[in-house]
Amino acid sequence: MNIDIPVFASEMISQDYEIFHVDDFVDSNQTWFHYHDYYEIHISLTGDAIFLLDGKQFEIKPGTVLLIHDLDLHRMVSQSTDRFERVFIYLTSQFLQKRSTNLTDLEKCFYPIGDLRSKVLQLNPETLRDYLSGIIQAQTTSRYGEDIKVEQELIKFLIMLNQTIMRDDFDAQAQEIVGDTLITEVINHITTHLSDELTIESISEHFYLSKNYLSRRFKQYTKISLHKYILKKRIIYAKQLLKKYKSSSEIYDRCGFNSYTHFLQCFKKEFNMTPKDFIKKVYDNELIVTRLHQK
Report which DSSP code applies to 265.
H
**227 and 259 within one domain:** yes
| pLDDT number for residue 4 | 43
| pLDDT number for residue 1 | 33
Residue 294 lies in a domain: no
| pLDDT number for residue 291 | 40
Residue 255 lies in a domain: yes
pLDDT averaged over 10-residue windows placed end to end, the chain, 295 residues? 42 74 75 81 93 84 92 83 90 93 95 81 92 82 84 95 82 63 87 89 94 91 86 88 87 91 90 87 63 36
Question: Residue 193 belongs to what domain range?
Answer: 181-283
Q: How many domains does the chain have?
A: 2
Tell me the CATH number at 14: 2.60.120.280
Residue 293 lies in a domain: no
| pLDDT number for residue 295 | 36
**15 and 154 within one domain:** yes
| pLDDT number for residue 8 | 44
Q: Which segments of 69-180 does DSSP mark as H helices, in order? A: 93-99, 125-139, 146-166
| pLDDT number for residue 290 | 45
Judge contact between 177 and 58, C-beta under 8 A. Answer: yes
- How far is it, in rounded angstroms, from Cα 201 to Cα 211? 6
Centre a 10 Å sphere on the Cβ of residue 173 and count the other Cβ atoms it contains: 13
Centre a 10 Å sphere on the Cβ of residue 295 and count the other Cβ atoms it contains: 16
Domain end (from 127, 157, 177): 177
The pTM of this model reads 0.79
**147 and 40 within one domain:** yes
**147 and 32 within one domain:** yes
**Segment holding 183, helix H or strand E:** helix 181-192
